[in-house]
Structure 1
Amino acid sequence: MSEIDADSAELAELLVHVGRVLRSDSSASPLTAAQWTCLRFFSRAGKEANTSSAFADFHGTSRGTASQIIKSLHDKGLLTKIRSKQDARSHIFKLSTLGLKMLDQDPLQSLVSAVDYLGPKNREQLQKLCYSLLENVRQIRNKRPFGTCSHCTYYATHSGSPERSHCKFDQKDLAPEMVGNWCCDFSLS
């Protein structure tokens, strides 16, 4: 193994280890790691991504496994299930009031605090690197892309009004609260 390969392997292991440390106290958690991921996903899912199949793609799991995770959160009253207006055979999912309150207990908050210590410049650099890593893994494994507007090639702001933005993929204006949502029509800029 070359020096570069050894460094890459060490860095990959460190990334995985961060995830392990975050899950190490999971016995006291009211939800499993997969349930937390699902709750977080639907708290930020854009209108095209609030389906069980989009969650399955995002989580890297089968449609059946994703459905079971979603069902468990629905049964706990953390997700609401709404019949899709576009396709009566499918449903969209949103966090219930109880689901929103549950996010206050999210174990990911310790990582959020740790990332906050990095400072704005390092956070911005780390975010770019993570998007790049995610895109590389996605391409290697032929997975569906996910991301947020500000990192997407389809994202544009209106000239003369930077607070107004537009999605060039679906040719629609974006409400300010949508810009930070997960989108499955994402293309890394």
Structure 2
Amino acid sequence: MPEPIPAPEVLLALPSAQLVTSTTTVAEVLGSMLHLLPASLRNTLYPAANLNFLLEDSQGPLQAALAGQCSLLNQQKAELDDDSNQNRLRSRLANPQSEKHRIKEEMKKLQVVLESTEEGIQSTMAELDEADQAKQMLKKKMKQGMSNMKCLSRQIIPSDDVSDQQIIAEVDKVRMTALSAVRYFLSKAQ
């Protein structure tokens, strides 16, 4: 026969771990009081006393599922902690990144050289334009000079050297006469 149930004030003072150590304890306590309870309350409380048996039947698959889940999580954590693949990829990435940086620096230097070359080309093009314009002006002057030569050559009267010397002597005589007249005028004016 089970032990008698202590008074309610004693039960309230005891810690819960001492009162209920397992569902078996609950079943024993309920079993000793069952005849005192009305039938409707007995029918409601009776399944609570048998919960231990129901739970034990369903625990096996739950424990297996829990063990499988723990094993899977441990495997995933091990994979998460394993940095070897990331380290290998990082080391593989370091070389192309270094090459990329070197190429960018080289591109900056080449850009400076390109800009300097472009300025040199523009300056030379401007000088070439100026030289072309000077050449065009020289061509115009030469055409004008040739046109003047044609006009002057048309004015020349073809003759022999003796007649040319006679004309030159007459021009010199007229020039000397005019020069003498100017000198005479200037000497009188003083």
TM-score past 0.5 threshold: no
Q: TM-score normalised to the size of structure 1? A: 0.15
Normalised TM-score (structure 2): 0.15
Of structures 1 and 2, the one scoring higher in RCO (CA 8 A, sep 6+) is 1
More helix by share: 2
Q: Which structure has the highest strand share of the two? A: 1
